[in-house]
Structure 1
Amino acid sequence: MSDGSSTEMVVAILRTEIARLAPGDRLPSSRELTTRHGVSPVTVSRAFAQLAAEGEVVTRPGSGTYVSPRRTHPAADTPDTSWQAVALAGREFDPGTQDGPPDPPPAGVIAMAGGYLHPSLRPDRALSAALARAARRPDAWDRAPAAGLAPLRAIFARTAGGAVGPEDVLVTGGGQGSLSMVFRALAAPGSPVLVESPTYPGALAAARAAGLRPVPVPMDGDGIRPDLLADAFAVTGARLLYCQPTFHNPTGTVLAPERRRQVVDVARAAGAFLVEDDFARHLGHGGPVPRALVADDRDGTVIQLTSLTKPASPSLRIAAVIARGPVMRRLQGMRRVDDFFIARPLQEAAVELVSTPAWDRHLRALSTRLRERCAVLAGALARELPDWTPARIPEGGLHLWVQLPSGLDDATVAEAARAHGVAVNPGTPSFPAEPPGAFLRLGFAAAEDPADLTEGARRLADAARACATA
């Protein structure tokens, strides 16, 4: 029998096999087919190649050959990407729940979800002026250094305080990108990462996307508990802790002064890194902002993430990682692999923005307006929903964290709230494991006007009554 006829025979046999199998089922191996039908391995390989070219099978090296998803005879000009379900099998990616800017709510829906400022709170005119000045620089379109522009690194170092110097700073493209890079740099897939419970949903998403396993460490009114943190390190063998010691998202908690040193010491004793997410340093409501953990750490235990995005604009994707020792060299190496450097015009614009008096004026005004909005929302909740007691009135940040009364489900209430014209965030995505109750995260910075927060609370009360009587 010629090679051609042998191949046609095996193709016909495999077509019959495919017809009785379901999409994703594994076909017999080359060795089985060779033995069963008395043909050569080359013949079997040619048969599989022909069927793969026709879209009937998908071959995964080292695993086998599988039946492709059934085609439904789409129109000739309609793409069919169903084959990707088989090709991506075994390469699962869990993006989790992000905390970026939500899609614009429909007209009439009050925005109390998401984690960014309403345009009326942003320094848009100062941003535009800074970008225009940056564009006029003769070297504006030159390649930027991989670690970031020296003046920008110096600005981040001064903000961190202590002994942090520009050489300890790596400029990055936004806080979320920093999280992703740091998680990939510090822990191998499958490793545990300790997190406060609750925590920032975007951190859980970044950890899981890196293949890490988030492990909850409980908090109380003073922040993460050092005693339980030590237990978690001992039980899990984790070498990584992610926390937000200043104006924690979502609760607004500030890690108590006596605990700040304890938490660093516990991490150091475990031989672990502590990732300090300092996203809210510029979002205080007028009171003192605690000193950053990284400012007093000289041994490289603390790696700080900080950003200009939250107090400025979602599109000012400028952040920084502060680290010391071999881990900084690793991060710089990852930068060269991932994206080489951050666009110079954006870095130049950031330098122009934060180096002018307009930036300080903006931060002072933003502090006042956030404090006022927080008070408006807290007062409206007290009137409209007196049994929805916030865990605390935060001294910084963009949210109130509210526990719902027994019998209410956060996802159900959030869905009902949207139906009543107000968008809020359910609390469950903030927990790395089972939540201890039902919570909502209510933002006071994304609404157009403080009066909208009062109306939003009223609509929430209507939604809660609808859920209670459903």
Structure 2
Amino acid sequence: MSESSITERLVVSLRAEIDGLAPGDRLPSARELVRRHGVSPVTVTRAFALLAAEGTVVTRPGSGTFVAQRRAPSGTAPADTSWQAVALGDRSVDTARVSHLLGPPPPGAITMSGGYLHRSLQPTRPLAAALARASRRPDAWDRAPAEGLAPLRAVFARLAAADPEDVLVTGGGQGALSMAFRAIAPPGSPVLVESPTYPGALSAARAAGLRPVPVPMDADGIRPDLLAEAFAMTGARLLYCQPTFHNPTGAVLSPERRRQVVEVARASGAFVLEDDFARLLGHGGPAPRPLVADDRDGTVVYTTSLTKPASPSLRIGALVARGPVMARLRAMRLVDDFFIARPLQEATIELVSTPAWDRHLRALSAALRERCAALAAALAEHVPGWRVTRVPAGGLHLWVETGRSPDAAEVSRRYGVAVEPGQDFFAAEAPGQFARLGFAAAAGLEDLAEGARRLGSATRPDA
């Protein structure tokens, strides 16, 4: 009898034995099967390999061979998971506003959506060198402190004009927002937000069980008079705002209003969650001091990130807070994920400690300024019916009043340019028709000009 026939006979015998076992049960050892069936060890090895290939068994080196989980036969009804709808209740996580920020544009489309730099604007070589240097440190894979490595906390403390002891390193800006919303406000409570505002903040607030309440803005940022009314009417204990290079409008809160916003919140017994995501995305000239820098009573909880000016995968940010709220944030860090991966923190320290980082920031500032002006000019030429609300002094976007809002999916499909519809940036009804157009994610100035031409085609009356 041939070796293949002997192997097939053993496989048939083992299948019959497996039918009487449960998933996870251990099969007899190879030595036992050799003795029982009078075959060679090679035959047993081949039989187990055939059964493993068809998914009948799982072999774990050093432990043995076990019955695998049984797959449903083809043609049978799918598993019924409908019971989970009752168990999970009526709480849901809204991803509609943020999923398009991460998804790839249609093939061939010009990208004017999203909030990250094009690869040509990222410091890829300094990042690679920093990661290589960090990996060679003898303690690179040791456990990191829950609050973050001291040199990295010092970096963020300088950005916020704060004490390093008040800094908690986080996994990027979005993670910081999610943590802060859950730490500061109880589920079911209102949270005041600028109108319009960052869609990721709206999603994070709702995922934390909060109810975003819009507070109108004008050219100088959020209106303190309406903010005071909103605190009084809602009883909110938290305001989320972006005082510097606001997303999406690019507005910078005026000096007088910066003081008023903190005073209104303090008088209401509320916190201000200051999102300073664009501090390192200025187009030239100094950025105003963050709110937290002049707050000594712990009213302001500050967050920023190095992700935007570096790379989408450099998920490193920070929260700055004082008093019991920082104790709660630290406790949530321990419960959530213990600490941020040390190699990533070490690589970030290496990156921002070199002259290459300063050179990158200067080059990025000039590139963003040039791209912003080029896109604004191209829109004025090709889409005269749209009004750029302001040419910002920082950030990655133009906020455009469109007169009629184009359907983003239709524009992307028919005209090959990815834009973001304005309604996603409002917590309630939008006061008009808007769109956010990014100038940092496209490949270059030619793409921005071509994108504007395509938008002009998309918005013509006969389109």
Q: TM-score range by the shorter chain?
A: 0.7 to 0.9
* Post-superposition CA distance 1:283-309 (Å, at most 9, x none): 000122111110111100000000000
Number of aligned pairs?
392
Paired residue type of 2:331: G
1:427 to 422, 425, 441: 422
Give the distance between the partners of 1:330 and 1:140, measured in 2 at CA.
Answer: 28
Residue aligning to 1:184: 182
Amino acid at match of 1:303: V
Letter of the 2:146 partner, please give it: A
| Counterpart for residue 216 of structure 1 | 214
For 2:200, the equivalent position in structure 1 comes to 202
CA distance in 2, matches of 1:109, 1:396: 25
Cα deviation for residue 79 of structure 1 reads 4.8
- Secondary structure at the residue paired with 2:285? coil
Return the alpha-carbon distance in structure 2 between the equivalents of residues 169 and 96 of structure 1: 32
Residue deviations 1:329-354, cap 9 Å, x none?
00000011000000000000000000
Shift of 1:381: 0.4
SS of equivalent residue, structure 1 residue 98: helix
Cα distance in 2 for residues equivalent to 1:318 and 1:131: 14
Q: Which residue of 2 aligns with 1:111?
A: 111
Pick from 319, 322, 338 the counterpart of residue 321 of structure 1.
319
Shift of 1:101: 4.6
- Mean Cα displacement is larger for which, 292-301 or 97-106? 97-106
Of residues 444, 450, 454 in structure 1, which corresponds to 2:445? Answer: 450
Match of 1:8 in 2: none
Q: Deviations over 1:389-433 (max 9, x none)?
A: 11000000000000012xx234x2552244201000001010000
Alignment of 1:4-15 (within 5 A): none
Correspondence list, 1:48-67, <5 A: none
C-alpha displacement of 1:95: 3.3
How big is the alpha-carbon RMSD for the aligned residues of Structure 1 and Structure 2? 1.7
Paired with 1:145 and 1:413, the residues of 2 have a C-alpha distance of: 44
Give the one of 235, 238, 242 matched to 1:237.
235
2:392 is equivalent to residue 409 of structure 1:
no
- d(CA) in 2 for partners of 1:284, 1:91: 39
- One of 276, 281, 301 as aligned partner of 2:279: 281
How many angstroms does 1:315 deviate by?
Answer: 0.4
How far apart, in 1, do the equivalents of 2:329 and 2:91 lie?
A: 24
The aligned runs of 1:208-357 (5 Å cut-off) are 208-357=206-355
Preserved contact between residue 99 and residue 202 of structure 1 (Cα < 8 Å): no
* Per-residue CA distance 1:148-171 (angstroms, 9 max, x = gap): 00000011001111xx11100000
Contact 2:191/2:213 (8 A) holds in 1: yes
Give the direction of change, closer, same or farther, for the CA distance of 1:95–1:416 in structure 2 (3 Å limit): closer
Tell me if structure 2 keeps the 8 A contact 1:160–1:294.
yes
1:51-76 deviation line (CA, Å, top 9, x unaligned): xxxxxxxxxxxxxxxxxxxxxx9734
1:160-199 CA-to-partner distances (Å, cap 9, x unmatched) read 11xx111000000011111111000011111000000000
User: 2:74 and 2:86 mapped to 1: Cα distance?
Assistant: 19
Distance 2:328 2:375 in 1: 44
Residues 233 and 93 (structure 1 numbering): CA distance in 2 closer, same or farther, change over 3 Å?
same
CA–CA distance in 2 between the matches of 1:90 and 1:318?
33
Alpha-carbon distance between aligned partners in 2 of 1:413 and 1:207, rounded to the nearest angstrom: 24
Q: Please give the secondary structure, in 2, of the residue aligned with 1:313.
A: coil
Give the aligned partner of residue 13 of structure 2. none
| 1:123-142 to 2 correspondences below 5 Å | 123-142=123-142
Gaps of 5+ in 1: 1-72
SS of 2:387 mapped into structure 1: coil
Match of 1:461 in 2: 456
CA contact (8 A) 1:414 1:426 kept: no
Distance 2:342 2:308 in 1: 20
Are the counterparts in 2 of residues 390 and 403 from structure 1 also a CA contact under 8 Å?
A: yes
> Cα offset for 1:77?
8.9
Change (3 A) 1:232 1:339: same
Residue 133 (structure 1) shift: 0.4
User: How far off is 1:78 after superposition?
Assistant: 5.2
Q: In structure 2, do the counterparts of structure 1 residues 75 and 91 end up closer, same or farther at CA, with 3 Å as the change threshold?
A: farther
Does structure 2 retain, via aligned residues, the 8 Å contact 1:272–1:301?
yes
Deviation at 1:252, TM superposition (A): 0.4
- The whole-number CA distance in structure 2 between the counterparts of 1:364 and 1:135 is 27
- Aligned counterpart, 1:7: none
SS state of the match for residue 388, structure 2?
A: coil
- When structure 1 is superposed on structure 2, of 299-308 and 86-95 the one drifting more is 86-95
Per the TM alignment, residue 208 of structure 1 is displaced from its structure 2 partner at its CA by 0.4
Judged with a 3 Å threshold, the aligned counterparts in structure 2 of structure 1 residues 201 and 126 are, in CA distance, closer, same or farther, namely same
Q: State the SS of the aligned residue for 2:192.
A: strand
Contact 1:413 1:463 in 2 (8 A): no
User: How far does residue 99 in structure 1 lie from its aligned partner after superposition?
Assistant: 6.8
Q: Is the 8 A contact 1:113 1:442 kept in 2?
A: yes
Q: Percent identity?
A: 72
Larger Cα Rg: Structure 1 or Structure 2? Answer: 2
TM-score computed with the length of structure 2 as normaliser: 0.82
Deviation for aligned residue 1:117: 0.3
Select between 337-346 and 384-393 the one with higher mean Cα deviation: 384-393
- For the structure 1 residues 457 and 392, does the alpha-carbon distance in structure 2 shift closer, same or farther, using more than 3 Å as the test? same
Q: Residues of 1 paired with 2:100 and 2:271: CA distance?
A: 26
Aligned mates of 2:417, 2:398 — CA distance in 1: 15
User: Is the contact made by 1:96 and 1:208 (CA closer than 8 Å) also made in structure 2?
Assistant: no
Matched residue, 1:165: 163
Contact 1:101/1:116 (CA < 8 Å) preserved in 2? no
Contact 2:408–2:418 (CA under 8 A) maintained in structure 1: no
Q: Which moved more, 1:96-105 or 1:209-218?
A: 96-105
Q: Decide whether the 8 Å contact of 1:147 with 1:171 is kept in 2.
A: yes
State the alpha-carbon separation in 2 of the partners of residues 348 and 413 from structure 1. 40
Shift, 1:108, TM fit? 1.6
CA drift at 1:269: 0.6
Query: Which residue of the partner structure matches residue 12 of structure 1?
Result: none
- Match in the other structure for 2:155: 155
1:399 maps to 2:397: yes
Contact residue 175 and residue 306 of structure 1 kept, 8 A: yes
Quick one: which amino acid aligns to residue 127 of structure 1? L
* Preserved contact between residue 283 and residue 394 of structure 2 (Cα < 8 Å): yes
Cα 1:345/1:77, change in 2 over 3 Å:
farther
